[in-house]
Each structure stands twice: as structure tokens, then as C-alpha cells.
Amino acid sequence: AQSVTQLGSHVSVSEGALVLLRCNYSSSVPPYLFWYVQYPNQGLQLLLKYTSAATLVKGINGFEAEFKKSETSFHLTKPSAHMSDAAEYFCAVSDDRDDKIIFGKGTRLHILP
Amino acid sequence: GAGVSQTPSNKVTEKGKYVELRCDPISGHTALYWYRQSLGQGPEFLIYFQGTGAADDSGLPNDRFFAVRPEGSVSTLKIQRTERGDSAVYLCASSSLAGGAYEQFFGPGTRLTVL
């Protein structure tokens, strides 16, 4: 069965510092992988997705993630954090392009001034 | 263009009552999904429609939950005999499988509170 594990329910970084949000997945088939962001009182927005093309995926707002099959990981990074990045981030996996998405429990990112 | 819309945005009901939650997908999207997000958790899959039929309803928690999509566009999630544990944000998403791109577009959700 598919599953997603996000390490750290809360992560705090200083403004301008590197953002690293960790995600490990399990899937019996080559997966589709996603990162979604949820700002307070707003809906889910897709940051980026991996669909078996390039292993380094660039998304919106300067975020990127690298698919590492050997580590079953899909960690999200951003070189320099902005205050506006404060939000809840969800890693997610799907077995197929028209299949349900399985979400992790989320990581709340706090940006310290 | 218009995104996925959900109505109502908030619904407060009493234990035991019946509720209906509506989802209007993006025009032309054939796939429609319902998820439930409890406080402090990630969204959990409920049901997936491809056109008018439910392709996967494995996430519905019990037979009090039912969803329809009679004309392959708007969908309604129906909850009978609501319980306090049903309180959550119910999310709808739609996607188009055309063109090879794959993304589910999410609506703002309906926050259901069962007193």
C-alpha cells in the first residue's frame, strides 16, 4: 500500500536560510510524487510534481525537489526562505495519473525574522 | 478561468442530521475526487469519479457516506445521521487526463461542524 512519511510536523528556519522539508514514500510501482502547500484559510496549491521525467523537479516560488529512488525520498528544498513561505506543506504520492492521492500528515513551516 | 468551487463554505449541523456538500469542478474535467481533512492531518481520500460513475469509493468510511455525479459534472457528497467525528474540512478536486499533464486542482473546501 502507498504511504507517505513527513519527518517533522513543525520546522522553523530563519528568513534567508535554507528550507529542507523531508518526505519518504512507499509505493509498489513507480510513483507520481507531489508537494502541495496550504496557506492559512486557503485551499491546497500544487508546488511541484514528479511524473517519471527529470529527477530534479522545479516548482513555483523557488521550490524544488529531488526524486531519489534508492532512498525512496522526495525532499523539498528552497535556497532562501521568505516570510511568505510560512504555510503547511504536504507531500503526496499516487500510483497512477488518474488515481487517488495519498497525503502525508503535513509539515508546518515557520519563518523566523 | 474559474477553479473548483464548493458550497457551502461552512456548514454547522446537529448530530443525527443529514447534510449535502456540493462541488463544481473545472469545466471539462472528467475526473472528480472527494477528500476529508481533519484538524492537524493531511487530506484523506474518500471517493473518485470518472465521468458519472464512481471508479473508486474505497475511502468512504461507512455507509452513512454517499456521493453522486449524475451528469458527469457537479458532484454532491451526502452524509446521513451525522456524528461529531464527521467534523472536518471536505475537499473536492478535479483533473483532466488529456494531454499527459497530471494535476488535481483543489477547491477551497467545506468546513463541516457537527455539534
For the stretch A8-46, pLDDT in tens is 999 999 999 999 999 999 877 778 899 999 998 788 999
**Chain A residues within 8 A of B91 when measuring between CB atoms:** 43-44
C-beta atoms of B33 and A98 within 8 A: no
**Lowest-pLDDT range of A50-59, B8-17, B56-65, B67-76:** A50-59
pLDDT for the residue B1: 57
Chain-chain contact of B103 with A49 (C-beta, under 8 angstroms): yes
**pLDDT tens readout for residues A40-51:** 878 899 999 988
Residue B9 in this model has a pLDDT that exceeds 90: yes
Residue A95 DSSP code: S
Q: What is the mean pLDDT of chain A?
A: 91
